[in-house]
């Protein structure tokens, strides 16, 4: 075979030897290529899987935990929610438009495979600073790629988050998520466990594009990437829409035993995972697969990552009925083989067996031993704290203008966030998006969260905080947090400092999840997010996607101030934790302690809010995080088009907290809520009962934003001016190349 | 200074798919009864007027603009630049 020259293996010598031992013979070129892909970091999680075991997976509502295409939770009455988030960082960094679009395509299929209808998309994006033209280019095209693909498929893009930081200049992070609704009795798991079933490949044709995309994602980006052309795919949302409807209809026949998405690793990955999970084997004929280009080698067919493809297993007597459905929707398909009980993946080409390898050999890669080492912090001379800003009003304006705080309207305006008529709270309305179940009195809340700077300064507390913040965000809408799925984005795990960050991150998340009793039902790990030329890794960032359940539509709460005279209550204590805060980043102050994450504090605040909302006490609720109290209040006022008057002296705080801490510190476990005056005492009583510090700090007024210290005025702004500044910041930064 | 008419055509690379073209072929043209048309490739077309001393200079300016302002991405697109004529 003349393939040897074209295959660039990433396996180590040790891994090749291990493969020979397990197989009991020398693998041929095609088999070696398959092992190479399946044992890559992207498919095998060889560096991360041991640590990921620490995350809690059990819970009363968990139906499907990690290991399948998406996690599934039970929300009562036979209804289930499937949700998943995945990275598409590497393709997006070199072709932002198609990279992001195909990311959306892939995550939709992950939900579809569980026999759930995809009903909402969310995206968590990280770019370099908008002063850079490269970052602007990435930003603009990633957003357009998500918008074009999502809008064409008729699935609303309902939530997300964006962060700007120089560490994402060349390696932007594009994490895409999807959630779907389905019925528990109809749930399907992507496994082949019924020998004799027919295997059908449906959708897009198999081409040479994207061969070895996963090994590409398991390397760092360097000069060569521009030439790695086949690794970038073109998405096809038109075919995707047909595939969604055809798949759901085919599943309704009851003749389909399993469905699996073809993503990274192509046919090899889908086939081996399905048969490995079902303890079965399979036999396929590569000659019958509908290909786009003539003369594709078996290696290319097995490894191609062409888009819009799904693998079905169907009971033999149901074949005709299922194929009729594909034909009616105009989808191409090939009947490629059948499920066996041998445990082996057997592929024939031109009548000859060219692959015969145990499926479990492919799916159980050897673990990679990685070393963790805490990075040495360059000892900077201790510098004293910056002085309290002389004009606090001006500082608040400057904060509203920073890209991380400014309105993200320019992004979500491009997305259709209402198609499907399930959206109750849209992007910008509140801390999390809320989708209702049609015909039911219940809804789910969903939000993606991470603060990369906090995660970098203190990976343990930073990641624990991300979990806590995501929980607070769904709680603020009136939901009870029920499960998370996560997407870890790190540098090169072979670098001990990066691996240390990863270990700390998992430990931190695990601490907070266990404390809040929230299970993790799935996730994705993306390593090698670093620039080869500079050696700079991205700031460690794990996107937490939190799902919450609202059991009565009347309880849904948003962040907008509602009526003058209502009381504004602060729940949770403010500490001097300005390290990595938006305020310190604004004034470029490199020191300070990032926020601590403490389970007992989070539980106290969260229980207080959930109970207050259930009792109907609250008219608005907002999690207090980025930018601190000053920004949280500003957002509530801007959204409600009302003013407020706050006495900062009343804010519950730790002793030795200065006024800049009070207004800008990003401490955890805090909410700001409003309530009609007569109910204020009841809210405080609830907080006290749950052990959360709370106080009435002011009230809603008609026009201006005013903060005092006792009688002394320390900040005074017009709401209209604040809104204008906040809304115009990102559009203005985007002007010019 | 003379002025030149310059065309820029941006297409998906030959080896890359073109879902828009495929959809037009299938759902508009073939369904509309034109079976002899078997393939459509879509792209972006820009027509520019460029002030330059010579043809080569005009082409150079357009090439540099296309690259530095990233009106195409070499990872997925081909960008062809053609000098059509010199305006008088």
CATH code of the domain containing A601: 3.90.650.10
Residues of B in contact with A230 (CB under 8 A): 15
Asked whether residue A407 is assigned to any structural domain, the reply reads no
Q: Find the closest chain B residue to A235 by CA distance.
A: B19
Q: Could you give the CA distance from residue A220 to residue A633 in angstroms, rounded to a whole number?
A: 42
Question: Are B16 and A330 a contacting pair at CB < 8 A?
Answer: no
Q: What pLDDT was estimated at residue A466?
A: 97
Q: Do A661 and A728 fall into the same domain?
A: yes
Q: Could you give the CA distance from residue A141 to residue A99 in angstroms, rounded to a whole number?
A: 9
Q: Could you give the CA distance from residue A89 to residue A203 in angstroms, rounded to a whole number?
A: 25
Question: Are B23 and A238 a contacting pair at CB < 8 A?
Answer: yes
Say whether residue A2 is in contact with chain B using an 8 A CB cutoff. no
Query: pLDDT averaged over chain A?
Result: 92
Window 202-261 of A: residues touching B by CB (8 A cutoff) are 207-209, 226, 229-230, 232, 234-239
Tokens read off for A345: 């993946």
Supply the pTM of this predicted model: 0.92
Q: Are A568 and A670 in contact (CB under 8 A)?
A: no
Q: Do A581 and A516 fall into the same domain?
A: no
Closest CB from A95, A229, A236 relative to B17: A236
Query: pLDDT averaged over chain B?
Result: 90
Q: Do A592 and A512 fall into the same domain?
A: no
Segments of B1-88 assigned E as strands: 3-12, 43-51, 77-87
| DSSP result, A490-549 | -S-TTSHHHHHHHHHHHHHHHHHHHHHT--EEEEEEE---BBTTT-PBPPPEEEEEEEEE
Per-block average pLDDT, block size 10, for chain B (88 residues)?
A: 93 85 92 95 95 93 92 88 78
Q: What pLDDT was estimated at residue A3?
A: 40
Q: What pLDDT was estimated at residue A285?
A: 96
Q: Are A188 and A113 in contact (CB under 8 A)?
A: yes
Asked whether residue A605 is assigned to any structural domain, the reply reads yes
Question: Are A209 and B12 a contacting pair at CB < 8 A?
Answer: no
Asked whether residue A283 is assigned to any structural domain, the reply reads no
Q: Could you give the CA distance from residue A143 to residue A168 in angstroms, rounded to a whole number?
A: 16
Q: Do A136 and A109 fall into the same domain?
A: yes
Q: Do A597 and A707 fall into the same domain?
A: yes
Q: Find the closest chain B residue to A293 by CA distance.
A: B15
What's the total number of domains in chain A? 2
Q: Are A207 and A304 in contact (CB under 8 A)?
A: yes
* Contacts of residue A526, Cβ cutoff 8 Å, sequence gap at least 6: A42, A87, A89, A90, A173, A217, A487, A488, A489, A490
Q: What domains can be seen in chain B, in order of their start residue?
A: 3-87 (3.30.1280.10)
Tokens read off for A10: 């990433």
- Convert the pLDDT of each residue in A295-318 to its tens digit: 788 988 999 888 889 999 999 999
Residue A5 banded pLDDT, cuts 50, 70, 90: very low
Q: What pLDDT was estimated at residue A229?
A: 43
Q: Do A594 and A691 fall into the same domain?
A: yes
Residues pairing with B47 in the sheet: B7
Residues of B contacting chain A (CB within 8 angstroms)? 12-13, 15-19, 22-23, 26, 68-70, 73-76
Q: Do A623 and A481 fall into the same domain?
A: no
Q: Among the three residues A556, A586, A606, which one is the final residue of a domain in this structure?
A: A556
Closest CB from B23, B69, B76 relative to A234: B76
* Contacts of residue A208, Cβ cutoff 8 Å, sequence gap at least 6: A230, A292, A293, A296, A300, A304, B15
**Which residue is it, tokens 């891994």?**
A15
**Residue A699 belongs to what domain range?**
557-737
Q: Could you give the CA distance from residue A343 to residue A325 in angstroms, rounded to a whole number?
A: 30
Window 555-594 of A: residues touching B by CB (8 A cutoff) are none
Q: Do A670 and A529 fall into the same domain?
A: no
Q: Could you give the CA distance from residue A177 to residue A158 in angstroms, rounded to a whole number?
A: 10
Nearest chain B Cα distance for residue A104, angstroms: 16
Q: Are A525 and A422 in contact (CB under 8 A)?
A: no
- Convert the pLDDT of each residue in A269-296 to its tens digit: 999 999 999 999 999 999 999 988 777 8
Q: Among the three residues A521, A556, A591, which one is the final residue of a domain in this structure?
A: A556
Cα A565 to Cα A303, A633, A675, A700: the distances in Å are 65, 15, 9, 5
Q: Do A512 and A639 fall into the same domain?
A: no
Residue from A142, A221, A236 to probe the interface with B (highest B Cβ count within 10 Å): A236
Q: Could you give the CA distance from residue A374 to residue A127 in angstroms, rounded to a whole number?
A: 26
Triad A134, A453, A559: Cα angle to 5°: 95
Closest CB from A98, A207, A737 relative to B76: A98
Say whether residue A290 is in contact with chain B using an 8 A CB cutoff. no
Q: Are A633 and A626 in contact (CB under 8 A)?
A: no
Tokens read off for A228: 């790695």
Nearest chain A Cα distance for residue B16, angstroms: 7
Q: Among the three residues A534, A556, A578, which one is the final residue of a domain in this structure?
A: A556
Average pLDDT rounded to a whole number, residues A59-64: 94
Question: Are B16 and A235 a contacting pair at CB < 8 A?
Answer: no
| DSSP result, A387-419 | PPPS-HHHHHHHHHHSTTTS--HHHHTTS---T
Closest CB from B15, B22, B70 relative to A137: B70
Q: Are A707 and A653 in contact (CB under 8 A)?
A: no
Q: Do A710 and A592 fall into the same domain?
A: yes
User: Catalytic amino acids of A?
Assistant: 42, 88
Q: Do A552 and A562 fall into the same domain?
A: no
Nearest chain A Cα distance for residue B45, angstroms: 19
- Convert the pLDDT of each residue in A420-443 to its tens digit: 889 888 888 889 999 999 889 999
Q: What pLDDT was estimated at residue A223?
A: 41
Q: What strands, in cross-sheet order, belong to the sheet with A79-87?
A: A62-64, A71-74, A79-87, A173-183, A117-127, A157-164
Q: Could you give the CA distance from residue A78 to residue A438 in angstroms, rounded to a whole number?
A: 14
Q: Do A629 and A708 fall into the same domain?
A: yes
Q: Could you give the CA distance from residue A102 to residue A236 in angstroms, rounded to a whole number?
A: 8
Q: Could you give the CA distance from residue A193 to residue A701 in angstroms, rounded to a whole number?
A: 64
Residue A691 banded pLDDT, cuts 50, 70, 90: very high
Cα A18 to Cα A21, A35, A37, A222, A405: the distances in Å are 5, 11, 15, 30, 51
């Amino acid at each position: 075979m003349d393939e040897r020259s074209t295959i660039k293996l990433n396996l180590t010598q040790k891994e090749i030897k291990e493969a020979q031992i397990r197989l009991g013979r020398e693998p041929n070129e095609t088999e070696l290529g398959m092992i190479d892909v399946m044992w890559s970091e992207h498919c095998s999680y060889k560096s991360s899987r041991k640590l990921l075991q620490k995350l809690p997976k059990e819970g009363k509502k968990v139906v499907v935990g990690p290991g399948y295409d998406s996690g599934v939770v039970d929300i009562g009455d036979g209804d289930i929610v499937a949700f998943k988030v995945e990275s598409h960082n590497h393709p997006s960094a070199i072709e932002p438009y198609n990279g992001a679009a195909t990311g959306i395509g892939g995550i939709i299929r992950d939900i579809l495979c569980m026999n759930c209808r995809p009903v909402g998309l969310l995206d968590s994006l990280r770019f370099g600073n908008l002063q850079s033209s490269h970052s602007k280019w990435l930003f603009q095209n990633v957003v357009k790629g998500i918008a074009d693909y999502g809008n064409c498929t008729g699935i609303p893009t309902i939530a997300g988050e964006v962060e700007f930081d120089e560490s994402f200049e060349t390696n932007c992070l594009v994490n895409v998520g999807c959630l779907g609704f389905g019925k528990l009795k109809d749930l399907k798991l992507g496994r082949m466990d019924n020998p004799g079933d027919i295997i059908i490949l449906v959708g897009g044709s198999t081409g040479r594009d994207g061969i070895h995309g996963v090994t590409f994602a398991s390397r760092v980006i360097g000069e060569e990437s521009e030439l790695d052309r086949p690794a970038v795919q073109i998405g096809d949302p038109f075919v995707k829409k047909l595939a969604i409807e055809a798949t759901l209809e085919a599943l309704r026949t009851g003749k389909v035993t399993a469905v699996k998405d073809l993503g990274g690793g192509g046919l090899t990955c889908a086939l081996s995972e399905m048969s490995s999970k079902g303890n079965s084997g399979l036999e396929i004929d590569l000659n019958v697969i509908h290909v786009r280009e003539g003369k594709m080698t078996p290696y290319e067919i097995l490894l191609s990552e062409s888009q819009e493809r799904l693998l079905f297993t169907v009971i033999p007597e149901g074949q005709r009925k299922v194929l009729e459905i594909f034909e009616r929707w105009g989808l191409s398909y090939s009947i490629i083989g059948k499920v066996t009980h041998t445990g082996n993946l057997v592929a024939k080409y031109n009548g000859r067996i060219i692959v015969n390898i145990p499926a479990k050999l492919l799916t159980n890669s050897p673990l990679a031993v990685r070393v963790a080492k805490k990075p040495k912090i360059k000892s900077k001379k201790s510098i004293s704290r910056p002085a309290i800003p002389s004009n606090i009003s001006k500082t608040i304006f400057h904060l509203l203008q920073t890209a991380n705080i400014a309105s993200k309207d320019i992004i979500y305006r491009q997305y259709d966030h209402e198609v499907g008529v399930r959206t109750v709270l849209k992007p910008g309305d509140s801390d999390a998006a809320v989708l209702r179940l049609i015909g039911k009195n219940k809804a789910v809340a969903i939000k993606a969260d991470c603060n990369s700077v906090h995660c970098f300064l203190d990976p343990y507390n930073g990641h624990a905080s991300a979990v806590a913040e995501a929980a607070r965000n769904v709680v603020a809408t009136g939901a009870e947090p029920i499960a998370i799925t996560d997407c870890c984005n790190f540098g090169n795990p072979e670098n001990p400092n990066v691996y240390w960050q990863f270990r700390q991150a998992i430990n931190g998340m695990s601490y907070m999840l266990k404390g809040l009793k929230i299970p993790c039902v799935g996730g994705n790990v993306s390593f090698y997010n670093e620039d080869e030329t500079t050696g700079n890794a991205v700031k460690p960032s794990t996107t937490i996607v939190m799902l919450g359940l609202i059991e009565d539509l009347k309880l849904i709460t948003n962040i907008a101030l509602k009526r003058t005279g209502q009381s504004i209550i602060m729940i949770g204590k403010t500490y001097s934790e300005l390290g990595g805060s938006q305020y310190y980043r604004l004034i470029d102050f490199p020191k300070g302690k990032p926020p601590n994450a403490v389970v007992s504090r989070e539980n106290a605040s969260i229980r207080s809010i959930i109970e207050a909302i259930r009792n109907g006490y609250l008219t608005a609720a907002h999690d207090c995080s980025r930018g601190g109290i000053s920004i949280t209040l500003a957002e509530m006022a801007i959204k409600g088009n009302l003013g407020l008057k706050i006495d900062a002296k009343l804010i519950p705080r730790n002793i030795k907290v200065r006024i800049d801490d009070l207004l800008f510190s990003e401490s955890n476990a805090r909410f700001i809520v409003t309530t009609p005056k007569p109910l204020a005492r009841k809210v405080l009583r609830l907080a006290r009962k749950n052990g959360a510090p709370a106080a009435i700090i002011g009230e809603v007024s008609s026009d201006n934003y005013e903060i005092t210290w006792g009688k002394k005025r320390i900040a005074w702004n017009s709401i209209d001016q604040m809104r204008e500044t906040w809304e115009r910041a990102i559009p203005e930064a985007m002007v010019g190349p | 200074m003379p002025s030149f008419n310059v065309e820029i055509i941006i297409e998906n690379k030959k080896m890359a798919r073109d879902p828009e073209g495929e959809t037009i072929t299938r759902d508009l043209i073939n369904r509309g009864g034109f079976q002899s048309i078997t393939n459509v490739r879509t792209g972006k077309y820009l027509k520019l007027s460029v002030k330059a001393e010579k043809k080569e200079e005009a082409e150079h300016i357009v090439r540099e603009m296309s690259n530095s302002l990233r009106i195409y991405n070499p990872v997925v697109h081909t960008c062809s630049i053609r000098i059509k004529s010199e305006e008088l």
